[in-house]
Amino acid sequence: KQEVTQIPAALSVPEGENLVLNCSFTDSAIYNLQWFRQDPGKGLTSLLLIQSSQREQTSGRLNASLDKSSGRSTLYIAASQPGDSATYLCAVDRGTYKYIFGTGTRLKVLA
């Protein structure tokens, strides 16, 4: 049974810091890994999708990497801003659209 874990569970950093969020999964037979952002009381916003054949994806200040063999992904946020404060979720899929979500990292960026 696939399990997805995210470390740390919560993180508080001063504005401007570069930071790394970690995601690990127990079954390496995945098709996709997707990173989402969730703002309090709101739905999810897709940030980056990495297919199993890819090693990383970049969008603006965000970079996500995938090491499928070791069951790990990282989300790197450069020059963090208060507007980045949110919960970040990673999720994996076997190519069925049925995503299994991680436990989330609550990020707070202090001005």
Partner 1 sequence: SAVISQKPSRDICQRGTSLTIQCQVDSQVTMMFWYRQQPGQSLTLIATANQGSEATYESGFVIDKFPISRPNLTFSTLTVSNMSPEDSSIYLCSVGTGGEYEQYFGPGTRLTVT
Q: Quick check: 2 binds partner 1 (CB under 8 A)? A: no
CB of 28 to partner 1, least distance (A): 17
Q: Quick check: 51 binds partner 1 (CB under 8 A)? A: yes
Tokens of 21: 């969020």
Segment 21-50, which members bind partner 1 (CB under 8 A)?
31-32, 34, 36, 41-46, 49
Q: Quick check: 86 binds partner 1 (CB under 8 A)? A: no
Are the C-beta atoms of residues 20 and 62 closer than 8 Å to each other? no
Q: Quick check: 55 binds partner 1 (CB under 8 A)? A: no
Q: Quick check: 61 binds partner 1 (CB under 8 A)? A: no
Q: Quick check: 99 binds partner 1 (CB under 8 A)? A: yes
Dist. CA 84–CA 69, nearest whole Å = 30
Q: Quick check: 93 binds partner 1 (CB under 8 A)? A: yes
- Strand intervals (E) in 2-104: 4-7, 10-14, 19-25, 32-38, 44-51, 56-59, 62-67, 72-77, 86-93, 100-101
Dist. CA 23–CA 83, nearest whole Å = 22
Using CB under 8 A, list all residues that contact partner 1: 31-32, 34, 36, 41-46, 49, 51, 89, 91, 93, 95-104
